[in-house]
Amino acid sequence: MDNRQKVLDVRALEIEIVSERGRMKAVQHLSFGIETGQVLGIVGESGCGKSMTCMSILGLLPDSAHVTRGSIRLNGIELTGLSSKKLMQIRRHQLSLVLQNPMTAFNPLKTIGSQFVETLRLKSNCSKKQAFELATQRLAEMNLPEPDRVLSQYPFELSGGMLQRIMIGLATANNPTLLIADEPTTALDNGNREHVLNAIRRIKAKGGTAMLLVSHDLSVIEAVADTVIVMKKGQIVESGLTKDVIRHPQAEYTKLLCDSRLTWSNPNQDRSQERVEIVQV
């Protein structure tokens, strides 16, 4: 990874968790950066600190966790130590989060259109009519058929795969500086997975948003990420251009992940029990 101007610049980050069992470092010595229009993948086993890293950037760590060292800069602004009011402003205008469950992300009692409009008007000063027009445009960009009809529907009338693409459209509607997507394709059938990866590719092609894509699945990272960091037990074991890391893994742990990627791409493997969630802050 080079030293060009980075939208997100994380340096020597350390996150500590305090519980009745004592103190533990969820993340340490973590440094990485992302440039505008680029996708950085974070891959690693469960519990290695991927979510803690994302939540620290958003200023949404649980009460038991704290950034104890290091720096997180978004467009040159240091986020660690900012007041919660300032962080909320930054989240509202510059950051978006897409998590795993689209069904729980939406209010079941409101149409997609009213939720879209509500969120857009919270993030910018647009009128109801402008918000509706933007919503229609974003749904079309996400390749959703009949955007007007989708906007008039309730979440339960749409499939999980469609709701995921709607969430990505909503999360990027106001062109955030940084989109954080946590496992957005896990366990989708191939068709829906490809739709979501295409949605990510379209956001990349527009070029205004940097993206942090978290996945335990190296194939997803390989499909869209320019650079990747491989994490194990809260630390980076390897990082670099995705194609280099995947073609020539250096760390034993990355080699293992690459081997299991071959297993995951086996079409006979049953991944139907895995769930996917997408939520926006």
Ligand X SMILES: Nc1ncnc2c1ncn2[C@@H]1O[C@H](COP(=O)(O)OP(=O)(O)OP(=O)(O)O)[C@@H](O)[C@H]1O
Applying CB under 6 A, which of residues 3, 21, 23, 46 lies at the interface with ligand X?
A: 46
Residue 81 lies near ligand X (rule: CB under 6 A): no
Among residues 52 and 167, whose Cβ is nearest to ligand X? 52
Among residues 64 and 127, whose Cβ is nearest to ligand X? 64
Site for ligand X in 216-245 (CB under 6 A): 216
**Minimal distance in Å, beta carbon 106 to ligand X?**
22
How far is residue 272's CA from residue 181's CA, in Å, rounded to a whole number?
Answer: 21
Closest of 71, 166, 175 to residue 158, by C-alpha: 166
Residue 50 lies near ligand X (rule: CB under 6 A): yes
User: Would you give the binding string for ligand X spanning residues 105-144, x where CB under 6 A is met?
Assistant: ----------------------------------------
**Minimal distance in Å, beta carbon 4 to ligand X?**
28
Both tokens assigned to 61:
């760590």
Of 39-47, 70-78, 135-143, 157-165: span binding ligand X (CB under 6 A)? 39-47
Q: Which residues contact 78 (CB under 8 A, 6 or more apart)?
A: 71, 72
Both tokens assigned to 32:
């990485």
Residue 51 lies near ligand X (rule: CB under 6 A): yes
Closest of 230, 226, 194 to residue 50, by C-alpha: 230
**Amino acid symbol at 231:** M
**Minimal distance in Å, beta carbon 172 to ligand X?**
22
**Minimal distance in Å, beta carbon 279 to ligand X?**
14
Q: CA of 23: how far to CAs of 16, 64, 72, 192, in Å?
A: 7, 10, 22, 41
Site for ligand X in 8-37 (CB under 6 A): 17, 19, 26
Distance of alpha carbon 95 from the chain centroid: 10
Both tokens assigned to 42:
């974070």
CB count within 10 Å of CB 229 equals: 26
Residue 64 lies near ligand X (rule: CB under 6 A): yes
What size, in residues, is the chain? 281
How far is residue 21's CA from residue 2's CA, in Å, rounded to a whole number?
Answer: 40
3-state helix, strand, coil in the chain (%, to 5): 40, 25, 35
Among residues 46 and 268, whose Cβ is nearest to ligand X? 46
**Minimal distance in Å, beta carbon 62 to ligand X?**
4
**Minimal distance in Å, beta carbon 216 to ligand X?**
6
**Minimal distance in Å, beta carbon 128 to ligand X?**
37
- Which residues contribute to the site for ligand X (CB under 6 A)? 17, 19, 26, 44, 46-52, 62, 64, 216
